[in-house]
Amino acid sequence: MRRKIILASHGNFATGILSSLELICGKNDNIVTIDAYMTADYNLNDEISKIMNENKGNELIVVTDIFGGSVNNEFLNYIHTENFYLIAGMNLPLVIELATQLEHTDSITALIKQALENSIMTIQFCNETIQNETEEEDF
């Protein structure tokens, strides 16, 4: 059984995240991307079915761009599949942590929870963060 990550988004976001990830961390053959709706005849359901069939028996972490979006909703059809984990809200820090720690964990659920917690901490309103740090230094 292999562990794989699927990055899935509307447009080229998934491929862009993978490009950034590989620039920072190097090539990763355990990640597949879905760039949905890039052609007029695109069929998301068919693409997801194909990927799911190709990965029967693998542990899959699927990261989508937006909760409640069509890409995420289509993957929700597989939520009760064994060894299937679905995350919405793709961002680079989250994907970096998942990709770099995936082979070093016994519990994918624990990895996902920790990666989500850590990635939330990287989202900052820098003006406010710097202002607060400046105020603390002055105090």
93/3 Cα distance (integer angstroms): 19
> For 66-89, what is each residue's pLDDT tens digit?
999 999 999 999 999 999 999 999
Residue 28's CB is within 10 A of a number of other CB atoms, namely 15
pLDDT at 139: 61
> For 11-68, what is each residue's pLDDT tens digit?
999 999 999 999 999 999 999 999 999 999 999 999 999 999 999 999 999 999 999 9
Q: Is the pLDDT of residue 136 over 80?
A: no
Give the contacts of 35 (CB within 8 A, at least 6 positions apart): 9, 11, 12, 13, 14, 15
Q: Is the pLDDT of residue 95 over 90?
A: yes
Distances (CA, A) of 19 to 22, 33, 113, 132: 5, 10, 24, 34
71/56 Cα distance (integer angstroms): 20
Class of domain 3-138: alpha beta
Give the contacts of 21 (CB within 8 A, at least 6 positions apart): 28, 31, 92, 95, 96, 99
pLDDT at 2: 94
pTM flag (> 0.75): yes
